[in-house]
């Protein structure tokens, strides 16, 4: 079969590598001059910054992708655990270092915030272990099939309980709720509309830890692109797909500025709202907004290695990440902010007790509008609007025959592990050549 993939972000590349390995002839189209989407890097002088992701949960997903499509990941790219996933600094001056991969470590850290809080935290995280196992089998690792899924999984996904409500009943201290909800608030979601079962990410973080690469995680995009060349995927960069061709209720190809390309199957790994023929399929979903990114090249202050993420809580959290690379005696940091005047970001950080102003030697600001244009949509995918979002987003298959959906806007959602899994789901749904 000839499969056309629209979008060469992590999801499109994961789909392409797996489908090529299954024996299909695969063509991949990307609007940008290079593959990777959000999984890429930007350069300013001698500083290189991760453009989007700087850490990943579940490295097993990436390892599996490499093993199933050729040489193992370890031969080409280094992933290392992040000892401190995030340091949270709260407005009352207290702070918490959230470690990954250890229940006992997390218990001690939370206990230091207040007596009994360690017990509260691990009690909350423990409740997600079984939920995770069920969803993993029925929803994340094989295309959802109500006739095969367990009644428990169906109940979990249908539940209308919100994460806000779950956190309110789990914790006596607001700081724990801030930590548990951080992944979602920092991605611009409203916790009242995020389903409670997404609390499973706290379990995943605790059990498997968070991972990064010494050269910055953005470099993984280039390694994946080279895997596609090895698998003989036909790559067309700087070639936006303008629409999917649907005839007689079936996807038969795509249209680009250079003309029509016929296909036996089409995989949409971009925001489907951008393709006119697909818009009606997703009219009840919305895209998640992007943050403002401030990339800073800094003079090194000789301090210990920074945590994976530094979260300065306040009216709207400021998130500092260190993914990328810098010359000797220098450091990189990227600040994610929402809802504040970007020019004030450094002053606001100083007001929150983290003053970098004297160390800045290079600065690059990227607005949400610039990022949306660069990436052709939001790599943060669909905004959570209650439990129904699971049914309203597409993927791995869709109501149109021969059309499949992967990526942040599809099942099972945004983030590298989940977009990686979406590629595996699409490959299962299409099957071997
Ligand atoms: C600031 C930020 C930080 C993040 N941090 C993390 C993190 O630390 N850990 C983590 O796991 N995840 C993180 N994420 C989320 C993660 O990056 C994304 O969920 C994931 O990379 C999305 O991959 P994707 O392939 O679905 O989409 P994208 O990466 O958005 O790729 C889409 C691709 O499609 C192309 N395209 C768009 N329209 C068209 C068209 N019409 N025709 C052809 N090509 C088209 C684009 O050029 C792009 O290459 C972050 C995201 C952002 C924005």
Of 167, 155, 154, give the one whose Cα is nearest residue 196: 167
CB-ligand 1 contact for 415 (6 Å cutoff): yes
pLDDT of 154 reads 97
Q: Which protein residue's CA is at the shortest distance from atom 35 of ligand 1?
A: 7
185: part of which helix (H) or strand (E)?
helix 174-186
How would residue 216 be classed by pLDDT, with cut points 50, 70 and 90? confident
- If asked whether residues 176 and 245 sit together in one domain, one would say no
Domain presence at residue 60: no
**Ligand 1 pocket test, candidate residues 35, 59, 236, 270, most atoms within 8 A of CB:** 270
The answer as to whether 97 is a domain residue is: no
Question: Which ligand 1 atom lies nearest to the CA of residue 409?
Answer: 26
Query: What does the pLDDT read at residue 340?
Result: 84
Atom of ligand 1 nearest to the CA of 241: 42
Q: How far is CA 198 from the centre of its chain?
A: 14
CA–CA gap between residue 76 and residue 352 (Å, rounded): 40
CA distance 12 to 10: 6
CA 183, 189, 194: angle at the middle one, nearest 5?
A: 85
The average pLDDT across 401-416 equals: 98
Q: Is residue 294 part of a domain?
A: no
Report the C-alpha gap between 332 and 293 in whole angstroms.
13
Q: Is the CB of 267 under 6 A from ligand 1?
A: no
Choosing from 5, 37, 238 the residue with most ligand 1 atoms within 8 A of its CB, the one to mutate for a pocket test is 37
**Domain identity same for 140 and 195:** yes
User: In angstroms, rounded to a whole number, what is the distance separating the alpha carbons of residues 353 and 349?
Assistant: 6
Residue 134 in any domain: the answer is yes
Residues in the chain, how many? 433
CA of 272 to the centre of ligand 1 (A): 13
Q: How many CA atoms lie within 13 A of 120 on its CB side?
A: 22
Q: Is 377 in the pocket of ligand 1 (CB under 6 A)?
A: yes
- What DSSP character marks residue 410? B
What's the average model confidence in pLDDT over 277-306? 94
119 and 232 belong to one structural domain: no
- Domain membership flag for residue 308: no
Q: Residue 162 domain-assigned?
A: yes
What is the CA(63)–ligand 1 centre distance, in A? 19
User: Same domain for 178 and 251?
Assistant: no
Q: How many CA atoms lie within 13 A of 203 on its CB side?
A: 18
How far away, in angstroms, is 102 Cα from ligand 1 center?
Answer: 29
What local confidence, expressed as pLDDT, does residue 341 receive?
Answer: 83
Number of domains present in the structure of the chain: 2
Cα separation, 350 vs 357, whole angstroms: 8
Give the mean model confidence (pLDDT) for residues 196-209. Answer: 97
Q: Which of 109, 107, 98 is nearest to 311 (CA)?
A: 98
For 314-362, the pLDDT digits (tens) are 999 999 999 999 999 999 999 999 988 888 899 999 999 999 999 999 9
The whole domain housing 152 covers 107-203
Indicate if 233 and 264 belong to the same structural domain: yes
Greatest CA separation for the chain: 66
Inform me whether the pLDDT recorded for 305 exceeds 80. no
Protein residue whose Cα sits closest to atom 5 of ligand 1: 53
- Asked whether residue 360 is assigned to any structural domain, the reply reads no
Average pLDDT over residues 59-77: 95
Q: Residues 247-291: pLDDT tens digits? A: 999 999 999 999 999 999 999 999 999 999 999 999 999 999 999
**Best residue among 7, 18, 50, 205 to mutate for probing ligand 1, ranked by most atoms within 8 Å of CB:** 7
The answer to whether the CB of 419 is under 6 A from ligand 1 is: yes
Nearest atom (ligand 1) to Cα of 274: 41
The answer to whether residues 183 and 113 belong to one domain is yes
- Do 115 and 167 have their domain in common? yes
Question: At 347, which helix (H) or strand (E)?
Answer: helix 345-351
Residue 8 reports pLDDT greater than 90:
yes
Same domain? 140 vs 192: yes
Q: Give, using CA atoms, the residue closest to atom 32 of ligand 1.
A: 9
Q: What one-character DSSP code corresponds to residue 418?
A: H
Residue among 49, 53, 335, 412 whose CB has most ligand 1 atoms within 8 A, to mutate:
53
Residue 276: name the closest of 242, 326, 323, 314 by CA: 242
Q: Report the distance separating Cα 207 and Cα 61, nearest Å.
A: 15
Q: Ligand 1 pocket, 39 CB below 6 A?
A: yes
């Amino acid at each position: 079969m000839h499969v056309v993939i629209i979008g060469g972000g992590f999801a499109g590349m994961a789909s392409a590598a797996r489908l090529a390995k299954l024996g299909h002839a695969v063509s991949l189209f990307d609007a940008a001059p290079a593959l990777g989407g959000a999984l890429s890097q930007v350069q300013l002088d001698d500083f290189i910054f991760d453009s989007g992701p700087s850490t990943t949960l579940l490295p097993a997903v990436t390892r599996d992708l490499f093993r199933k499509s050729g040489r193992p990941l370890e031969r080409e790219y280094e992933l290392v655990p992040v000892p401190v996933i995030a340091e949270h600094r709260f407005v009352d001056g207290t702070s918490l270092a959230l470690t990954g991969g250890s229940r006992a470590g997390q218990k001690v850290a939370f206990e230091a915030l207040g007596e009994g809080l360690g017990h509260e935290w691990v009690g909350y995280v423990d409740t997600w272990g079984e939920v995770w196992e069920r969803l993993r089998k029925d929803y994340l690792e094989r295309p959802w099939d109500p006739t095969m899924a367990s009644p428990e999984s169906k109940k979990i996904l249908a539940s209308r309980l919100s994460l806000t409500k779950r956190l309110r009943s789990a914790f006596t201290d607001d700081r724990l709720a801030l930590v548990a909800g951080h992944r979602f608030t920092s991605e611009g979601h409203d916790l009242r509309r995020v389903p409670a079962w997404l609390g499973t990410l706290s379990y995943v973080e605790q059990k498997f830890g968070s991972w990064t690469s010494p050269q910055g995680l953005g470099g993984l995009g280039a390694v994946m692109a080279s895997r596609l060349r090895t698998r003989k995927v036909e790559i067309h960069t700087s070639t936006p797909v303008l629409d999917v061709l649907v005839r007689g209720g079936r996807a038969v190809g795509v249209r680009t500025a250079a003309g029509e390309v016929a296909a036996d199957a089409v995989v949409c790994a971009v925001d489907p709202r951008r393709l006119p023929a697909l818009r009606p399929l997703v009219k009840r979903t919305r895209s998640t907004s992007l943050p403002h990114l401030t990339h800073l090249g800094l003079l090194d202050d000789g301090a210990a290695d920074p945590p994976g993420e530094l979260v300065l809580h306040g009216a709207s959290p400021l998130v500092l990440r260190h993914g990328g690379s810098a010359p000797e005696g220098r450091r990189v940091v990227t600040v994610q902010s929402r809802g504040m005047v970007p020019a004030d970001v450094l002053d606001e950080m100083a007001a929150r007790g983290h003053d970098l102003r004297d160390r800045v030697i290079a600065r690059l600001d990227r607005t949400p509008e610039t990022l949306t244009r660069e990436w052709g949509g939001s790599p943060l995918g669909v905004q959570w609007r209650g439990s129904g979002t699971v049914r309203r987003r597409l993927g791995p298959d869709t109501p149109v025959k021969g059309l499949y959906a992967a990526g942040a806007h599809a099942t099972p959602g945004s983030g590298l592990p989940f977009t990686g899994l979406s590629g595996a789901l699409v490959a299962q749904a299409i099957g071997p050549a």
